Structure 1
Amino acid sequence: MLKGQFQILRCEVAGVDAVAAVTKHSFPRHTHEQYGIGVIHQGAQKSHSGRGMVEAGSGDLITVNPGEVHDGAPIGDAGRAWKMLYFDPHVINNAAKEMNEAGAKPDEFPRPVIGNTYLANAFERLFAAMTNEHPIASTLLREELLLNLLAGVFREADDPVQQQAIPKAIRRARTMIDDQPDLAVTLADLAKEAGLSRFQLLRGFTRATGLTPHAYLMQRRIDLARRMIAGGSTLAQAAIASGFADQSHMTRTFVRKYGISPGAYAAAMI
């Protein structure tokens, strides 16, 4: 049986986070601010993704795009183990610009699950280099490994899925939340910003983003809290600054999204 553990490893590159996890936790619908690439090492999981329901097993590469609503649950009773690298958007965007010369137009990872042993091995080499597991990792090596992995992931695109554009009115409301997630906003505030009625805003926001305005706000708040904790803030400081009613409210939200408590997250930073 797999035992639960969660480890965050410091990376040698700014804007990149590394995570190694073993868990039976079922993650509810949520989003990330970053791009994510990883490999399942043991067990298997199923999840709703931007491409519908998918399953990933041992050896599969998994990806997620910023803002993509997804969940995740183990298949069977044994849980699953994986490693992930999370990239701030500018890291992927800068690499993608360089790939445009080859005729590619990468702007998002095209497939949530990729069964490709070569790419899985490429990820393992990149993870080792990013976390200094590689004994002679250098900036040059890390850059090469990242570009090669991204090129392979973007080549995995099959029939392109047309993503419905988010209406400008909804984008204005979403931006209001993104800019100040710590503020106490009401549905009326968001509707006014969007120039819609409260019902139109609620229906349109949920349809466009996959989350209700409140659920989206909670995602942004817990993302802010996580960044603050990673930066050295106390749990109480992070809770207040990110807009939660109190530390216990932040803790409950944190556990639902990440599968561990914020205290354990802080302790896992090595």
Structure 2
Amino acid sequence: MAKTKDVQAAETGKYWRHPCFPDLGLFEARFTRHRYDLHTHPTYVIALITSGCERIRIGRQSVLAPAGAIAVVNPEEWHDGERGADEGWGYRTFYPSVPLMTAIARELGRDGAPVFSRAIIEDCALAAALMAAHQGSTSRDAVTSETSLLGALKRLIVGHGDPSGQAEEIEHSGSRRRFSLYRELVEGELGSQLDLQRLAGAAGVTRFQVIRDFNKAIGLTPAAYIRDRRLRRASALIEQGFGLADAAMAAGFADQSHLSRTFRAARGMTPGMFRRAG
């Protein structure tokens, strides 16, 4: 019994928004047993590993992020996470929006939103800057808080942003064309019943071709993609002030409990925690 309580106590998390940048979320957590499902964010994910080690799939890569490393996920990039060592891992994460990162990049003389081709970055100076910015986000000194955050993101963009500014595109032309049809259907019908036959009908192909197209385009099953889109829709509705039950139904979840389980599995926090940070 004592061991079970110790494990539960080690699973902690706190989410809040930066006082100077309302479109930037912050998360601090310590996990030993939790495993993230594959999911995406409309924002960047910049995670400083503070203890232990995390194993992460980012896109088609599987990497280890030990203490001191920085994991960077571009917007809309699929990723998950689990412990990479017996003791689990602790981390501090930033979720800056695309407009925020684009504006900072432009101030630095760069065009467009920055793209990061390296999933794991080992840079002691950057790690220290991110730690200071994350800790400083709760400071009453707004100028210091703002300055440390901008300094950390500048160091990240200048030191590790892809100079080409372009992410690698999906080259499977047929699958790519059909995937755009699947995506349009899913986004327009999240609140209704979606299955392989409906997706196949949208593109005029077989159900087996739908599965192959999803694998070629994003390396996931149609079910995983639909679940992620529903989670994204529910998150947006919660931010707009919808109640949890209403957000769950509007996004296509069976009920609030279904949303809560999915939210926890993908985000490491409850929908209630996410709502309170708004």
What is the TM-score when the length of structure 1 is the normalising length? 0.83
From 130, 155, 178, the counterpart of 1:169: 178
1:60 equivalent in structure 2: 69
The worse-fitting range, judged by mean Cα deviation, of 81-90 and 194-203 is 194-203
Find the partner of 1:150 among 154, 157, 182. Answer: 157
Question: Relative to 1, partners in 2 of residues 1:192 and 1:254: Cα closer, same or farther, differing over 3 Å?
Answer: same
Measure how far apart 1:196 and its partner are.
3.0
| TM-align CA RMSD | 3.0
Q: Counterpart of 2:197? A: 188
**Does structure 1 residue 8 correspond to structure 2 residue 15?**
yes
1:40-189 superposed matches below 5 A: 40-50=49-59, 52-97=61-106, 101=109, 107-128=114-135, 131-133=137-139, 135-137=141-143, 141=147, 142-154=149-161, 162-165=168-171, 167-189=176-198
C-alpha change, 1:144 and 1:120, in structure 2 (3 Å) is closer
**Could you say which residue in structure 2 is the equivalent of 1:240?**
249
Aligned-pair identity (%)? 29
Cα distance in structure 2, aligned partners of 1:207 and 1:171: 13
Distance in 2 (CA, whole Å) between partners of 1:35 and 1:147 is 14
Q: How many residues align?
A: 264
Equivalents in 2 of 1:229, 1:210: separation in Å?
29
Partner residue in 1 for 2:46 = 37
Residue 199, structure 1, aligned to residue 205, structure 2: no
Q: What is the letter of the counterpart of residue 120 of structure 2?
A: V
- Return the letter of the residue paired with 1:189: R
8 Å CA contact retained: 1:51, 1:112: no
5+ long unaligned stretches in structure 2: 1-5
**Judging changes above 3 Å, is the alpha-carbon distance between structure 1 residues 49 and 255 closer, same or farther for their aligned structure 2 residues?**
same
* Distance 1:56-1:140 versus aligned 2 partners, 3 A rule: closer
Distance 1:69 1:208 in 2: 12
Taking structure 1 as reference, are residues 191 and 138 closer, same or farther at Cα in structure 2, changes over 3 Å only? farther
Q: 1:63–1:113: 8 Å Cα contact kept in structure 2?
A: yes
Distance 2:203 2:143 in 1: 49
**Residue in structure 1 matched with residue 26 of structure 2 by the alignment:** 18
Give CA deviations for 1:82-112 in whole Å, capped at 9, x if unaligned.
111112223233444555x56x886422111
Q: One-letter code of the match for 1:81?
A: G
Mapped partners of 1:120, 1:51: distance in 2: 25
Contact 1:27 1:256 in 2 (8 A): yes
**Contact kept in structure 2, 1:33 and 1:66, CA below 8 Å:** yes
Task: Summarize the Cα distance change of 1:98–1:169 in structure 2 as closer, same or farther, 3 Å threshold.
Answer: farther
* C-alpha contact 1:28 1:72 (8 A) present in aligned 2: yes
Aligned AA for 2:26?
Answer: A
Matched to 1:165, the amino acid is E
Partner of 2:231: 222
**Paired amino acid for 1:164:** I
CA distance in 2, matches of 1:181, 1:93: 29
What's the CA shift for 1:51?
Answer: 5.3
Tell me the distance in 2 between the aligned counterparts of 1:113 and 1:8: 23
Deviates more, 1:251-260 or 1:207-216: 251-260
**Partner deviation per Cα, 1:124-174 (whole Å, 9 max, x = no partner):** 243345x343624269735454333322231699xx995533612212212
Rounded Cα–Cα distance in structure 2 between residues aligned with 1:163 and 1:252: 33
Q: 1:33 to 1:140 in 2, by over 3 A?
A: closer
